[in-house]
Amino acid sequence: MGFSRRGLKGTDLRFFTKEEVELVHKYSLQLLKEVGIQIHNEEILDLLKNVGCKVDFSTRIAQISAEIVENGIVKSPERVMLCGRNKEHDIQLGDGTLYARTNSGAPYIIDMDTREQRKATQIDLAQSVRLADALPNIHGVSIIHMVPMDVPVELIDLHSAYTSLCNTEKHLFYVCHNEEFLESVIEMAALVVGGEDALKERPLISGFCEATSPMQLDQAQMKLLLNYAKRGLPVYTHSHPMAGLSAPVTLAGEVVQMNAETLAVIAISQLINPGTPIIYGTSASVPNMKTGSNLSGAVEIGLLGSALAQMAKKYKLPCDMTCGTDSKTADAQASIEKIFTSLPSILSGIDLLDISTTDTKLTFSLEQLVIDNEIISWIARLLKGIKVDEEHLAIELIRKVSHSNESFITQNHTVKHFREELMDSELMHRKSWGEWVTDGKESLQQRAYKKVKMILENHQPVQLDEEVQKSMKKIIQRAKLKV
């Protein structure tokens, strides 16, 4: 599982010097101590007051000392295990391996037959999760990477959790839409692995705790943090600053604010339950300054991801960054933006890459997910690098073949090594012009369409036990009585 970086033999890609990393850390601590963070949860405010923080309950602003933040960093594990229903899909973050997962929250989908945007349904979600389950370079799945709009809005979390648990054996990432059913989603995951104790041992699900920029933590996110941290389940910190709107327009200023918001969540998580598994993450972005709309495919996002990786490395924490595209379809723009928003972060050492699809994370494209899987395979080949030893330098082979009637193609050395050295691709067209014409002049998107159809016709995930499915349905029925 995942991709090793053993081919990178120099230093990581860095846009901050060591001194600049320390400066960001210093000013992040100053923000938390002097400006504070607004927290809309009485239990968390009481917790901070009890450890000596200055708390104004009228404004809900807590000023967190550097000592509490740094103690929280030390208590956070350097590695985080995210488990799948099948152990073959377990993810170990923090050991240098790169993984990828689907992103969250698209309410629309590009219909594969009409090519039009429409509201996503529960059937669409099931198909997209099943597709992600089949793609080898997608290692985890967001429970709500597509928001089913044909179920009651209050029950989106439960329907999505049920659909996702039934359609993949990979780890599931949970973004809360309705905090009232937080514990019900955990209960569903626990049913799959055999109870809450088993879920702590094999965390099938991890929760997102999202900061509201600038410098706020709302009630729903604090409730999620409390629920997950008390159980010792993995928590993904997530900050959403947007340069010039909810953060300084200067990228360095945005990184300081992002880092302060993230450190606040880390510190609180370790006060709730020392040793809570934490993933340092962000979805920092920039706007279109002409319209104020959020961008997910801007080149600056790659810079922000690289900065995030450097800060996480300072704290010895596993980290995650979102890449994206603002294109409305699976086209050249989408591929260019995906590469420039992901590759800098990867080369800087992020552990987990969030793959969004199209339209600034608003519209899911099954074809784009297949193309993303291909892009990741190319990046993985880069990370593998060039192996250098006597066998691979092949000096004796060059001596033998040079100035002879032989060819390298007939040599055992070629047969032995070509599969490991030269990456093949089922998605890219590498034949002649004439063959491309004969094949129907298909575009990359059209070939991705065919692959999606093939996977959905042939791939069936391992089914959950029927009694487990019945028990999960009872949880949904119970919840219906509350709304």
How high is the pLDDT of residue 350? 96
Q: Which amino acid is at 285?
A: S
* pLDDT recorded at residue 283: 86
What tens digit of pLDDT does each residue of 419-473 get?
Answer: 999 999 989 999 999 999 999 999 999 999 999 999 999 999 999 999 999 999 9
Q: Residue 271 and residue 53: Cα distance in Å, rounded?
A: 12
d(CA 14, CA 16): 6
Judge whether residue 7 has pLDDT over 90.
no
Instruction: Answer whether 280's CB lies under 8 Å from 260's CB.
Output: no
Per-residue pLDDT, averaged over 35-62, amounts to 97
Tokens at 34, concatenated: 């002097």
| pLDDT score of 426 | 87
Strand 140-142, strand 205-211: pairing: unpaired
Asked if 375 and 339 count as a contact pair (C-beta separation under 8 A), the reply is yes
Reported confidence tier of residue 392, pLDDT bands at 50, 70, 90: very high
Topology of domain 73-384, per CATH?
TIM Barrel (3.20.20)
306 in Cβ contact with 15 (< 8 Å):
yes
Lowest mean pLDDT among 6-10, 175-179, 211-215, 251-255: 6-10
Task: Look at residue 6 in the predicted model and tell me its pLDDT.
Answer: 84
pLDDT of residue 483: 78
Query: Strand 37-39 to strand 140-142: parallel, antiparallel, or no bridges (unpaired)?
Result: unpaired
Burial of residue 270 (CB within 10 Å: 0-12, 13-18, 19+) is buried
477's tokens: 């029925």
Mean pLDDT of 351-373: 94
User: What gap in Å lies between CA 40 and CA 101, rounded to an integer?
Assistant: 30
Which of 189, 103, 83, 101 has its CA nearest to residue 140?
A: 101
| C-alpha closest to that of 94 among 381, 380, 352 | 352
Q: Residue 128 to residues 71, 171, 350: CA-CA distances in angstroms?
A: 41, 15, 25
Which DSSP string corresponds to 114-135?
T--EEE--HHHHHHHHHHHHH-
Q: What pLDDT was estimated at residue 446?
A: 95
Query: In the structure, what pLDDT confidence band is assigned to residue 1 with cuts at 50, 70 and 90?
Result: confident
Q: Predicted confidence band at 151 (pLDDT cuts at 50, 70, 90)? A: very high
pLDDT at 482: 84
The torsion angle over the Cα atoms of residues 456, 461, 467 and 473, rounded to 10 degrees, is -50
Confidence at residue 336, expressed as pLDDT on a 0 to 100 scale: 95
Per residue in 254-297, pLDDT (tens digit) is 999 999 999 999 999 999 999 999 999 988 899 999 999 999 99
- For 145, the token pair is 């990477």
pLDDT for residue 474: 96
Neighbouring residues of 352: CB distance < 8 A, sequence distance ≥ 6: 91, 93, 98, 99, 100, 101, 140, 279, 281, 318, 319, 320, 321
pLDDT tens per residue, range 185-219: 999 999 999 999 999 999 999 999 999 999 999 99
The stretch 136-152 carries a mean pLDDT of 95
pLDDT value of residue 174 = 95
Q: What is the pTM for the complete model shown?
A: 0.95
Which helix (H) or strand (E) covers residue 82, if one does? strand 80-82
Residue 11 pLDDT greater than 80, yes or no: no
Domain edges within the chain: 73-384, 390-421
pLDDT at 172 over 80: yes
Q: Confidence class of residue 42 from pLDDT cuts 50, 70 and 90? A: very high
Is the pLDDT at 107 greater than 90, yes or no? Answer: yes
DSSP SS3 for 268: helix
pLDDT, tens digit, 9 for 90 and up, residues 75-98: 999 999 999 999 999 999 999 999
Tell me what pLDDT residue 421 has: 94
